[in-house]
């Protein structure tokens, strides 16, 4: 999906699909899905430090209009 074109409902739908798909993975593909909505600041900072999450307010994401409805659907 192309971020600037997505609606808030599409972000939510995509998050649900990704979350349900990832929860079904096992073995070496098993992991944890971290939705941004409701995420503690400590977990958020750890994911940023580990380079799994962009910092909020990233100028490149903002320029691409990829931050609409942030953090919904992420």
pLDDT score at 1? 55
What is the mean predicted confidence (pLDDT) over 58-73? 84
Binding-site residues: 51
Cβ contact 73:1 at 8 Å: no
Q: Where are the domains of the chain?
A: 3-64
In whole angstroms, what is the distance from residue 22 CA to residue 30 CA? 8
Binding-site residues for ATP: 51
What is the mean predicted confidence (pLDDT) over 15-21? 93
In whole angstroms, what is the distance from residue 60 CA to residue 58 CA? 6
pTM value surpassing 0.75 = no
| Closest of 61, 58, 35 to residue 47, by C-alpha | 35
As a whole-number percent, the residues of the chain with pLDDT over 90 amount to 43
pLDDT score at 64? 84
What is the mean predicted confidence (pLDDT) over 56-60? 79
In whole angstroms, what is the distance from residue 69 CA to residue 12 CA? 10
């Amino acid at each position: 999906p192309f971020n600037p074109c997505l609606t808030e409902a599409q972000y939510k739908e995509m998050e649900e699909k990704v979350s349900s798909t990832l929860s079904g993975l096992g073995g070496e593909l098993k992991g944890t899905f971290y939705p941004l909505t409701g995420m503690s600041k400590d977990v958020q900072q750890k994911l940023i430090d580990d380079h799994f999450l962009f910092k909020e307010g990233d100028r490149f994401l903002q320029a691409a209009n990829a931050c609409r409805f942030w953090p919904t659907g992420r």
